[in-house]
Each structure stands twice: as C-alpha cells, then as structure tokens.
Structure 1
Amino acid sequence: MPQYAILIYSPAPADPMDLTPDYVELLERYPAQVEELGGRAVTGFALQSSTTATSVRGDVITDGPFIEAKEVIAGFMILEAPDLDIALQIARLNPATRDGGAEVRPLFVPPME
C-alpha cells in the first residue's frame, strides 16, 4: 500500500503538552477513523516548539527555523493509504488541521536491488 507523509502546520508555536480534554478525545478517536477509511498510521509525533529548532544549511548551524513564518511545523505522521484521495481525507480528519493545516506527500521509496 502506498505511504504518505502528513506534515501538520500550526498557526503558532504550540506546546504539545497543553492539550484540552476535548482535543485529547479527538486524538483518541483518530486512529479508528484512519482505519475506517482503509488507512493505517505507521507512526506520528508532535514536535516541540519551533523555538527548540536548530537549522543546518551547508556548513552553517543556527538556532531556530530557517525562516520566520506565520505557521510552523507542529508534527508529522506517516501513514499507509490506498491512494492520495484517502490520504487527504485522513489529513482533514486530523484534529490539528482545524486551527492549522497539513501538507500531504507520497513517500519516495527507492527501488531495492
């Protein structure tokens, strides 16, 4: 089954430990919703605030993300889904996309000899 990365964007640096009970309930239901659509969550994590980021560009290492932006990457998940349409439906169900957004990309799996 094809695999997809969902990059989850948040409008502000969020503390993943500061979750409301309603949000926790949505997160707990999410895996079952993924399975109902024929997908399977492989892995996923919330990221610590972008203030903890360290960026590498060539030989230069700097504190913080590459650019200042209105949205930051708040987390990611890898999932298996029958096709891109199902992966997009799964991304739309993710509670984090209600205030932010998500980018869905097929994973590139190099051929193995």
Structure 2
Amino acid sequence: MKYMLLIHMNPVIWDGLPERERNEVYSGHATFQQKILDSGEMVTTQALADPSASATVRVRNGRPAVTEGPYADTKEFLAGYYLVDCASRERAVELAGQIPDARYTGIEVRQVVFEADAES
C-alpha cells in the first residue's frame, strides 16, 4: 500500500532551533532516505519551496483568478513529503516516526487511494 508522509513545518519552531539541530535534521533525511531505499519502500520524495513563493488559483466566472502567496494563512505549512510503498498503515506510521522533523513538528500519514499513471 502506498502512503504519503506529509512533513509539516512550523517556521517559529524551526527558526528557534540551533544550527546544529537543523543540520541534524538535514543529515537525518539522507540517512532515512537510504534506509527506505534499501528496504524497497521508497517511491519518491520532494521538498517544497516556502509558501511565500506560491500562487493560489481559483476559477471565477470561467476565468482563473491568481492570488500570490499561500492557500491558507497558517502557522504551519506543507514543507515536503515522502511517498512510500509499505505493507501496512502501522509500518507507514513507524516510518513517519523516523523522519527527523517528527521531533519538532507533525508528520501526517495518508493512504493513497487513487493513482494515475503519468504515461497515460
């Protein structure tokens, strides 16, 4: 089964961490990635840009209306994700707990229920 492990970021917490701890998070991702590559559970991972660089598009009266900035004004934002293919929800939760950011913020575990092939 495939699961998205969604990494949420709280910039107040992140900015308050000493540089040493931030570097441990970064290096911890390399270790985690190698672990799930070796186990065959890694599908992909992506880190996302800060939401201040985003745009939100809504269609109104048949025309796109673009708003600069994030979709919602919140303290936390989606910073990235891992897509894993593992045996169970319990395993996905176990993997989420191994993501270094989990020490400081939340990792949301969501099962993938539909997947389209990019080649289609």
- TM bracket (short chain): 0.7 to 0.9
Show the counterpart of 1:26.
Answer: 28
Using the TM superposition, give the Cα deviation of residue 25 of structure 1 relative to its aligned residue in structure 2, in angstroms.
Answer: 2.8
Query: CA-atom RMSD, angstroms?
Result: 2.7
Query: Kindly tell me: are residues 67 and 110 of structure 1, through their superposed partners in 2, closer, same or farther at Cα, counting changes over 3 Å?
Result: closer
CA deviations on 1:29-62 (whole Å, 9 max, x unpaired) are 21344368x6611000111111111111223211
Secondary structure, counterpart of 1:66 in structure 2: coil
Secondary structure, counterpart of 2:52 in structure 1: helix
Q: Which runs of 5+ in 2 are unaligned?
A: none
Show the counterpart of 1:44.
Answer: 45
CA deviations on 1:64-105 (whole Å, 9 max, x unpaired) are 112110101110111101010100111111012221111111
CA distance in 1, matches of 2:115, 2:46: 24
Show the counterpart of 2:112.
Answer: 107
Structure with greater helix percent: 2
Q: Which runs of 5+ in 1 are unaligned?
A: none
Instruction: Give the ranges of 4+ consecutive aligned residues of structure 1 lying more than 6 Å apart after TM superposition.
Output: none
Contact 1:39–1:86 (CA under 8 A) maintained in structure 2 = no
Secondary structure, counterpart of 2:81 in structure 1: strand
| Number of residues of Structure 1 aligned to a counterpart in Structure 2 | 108
* Identity between Structure 1 and Structure 2 (%): 24
Show the counterpart of 1:5.
Answer: 4
Contact 1:8–1:103 (CA under 8 A) maintained in structure 2 = yes
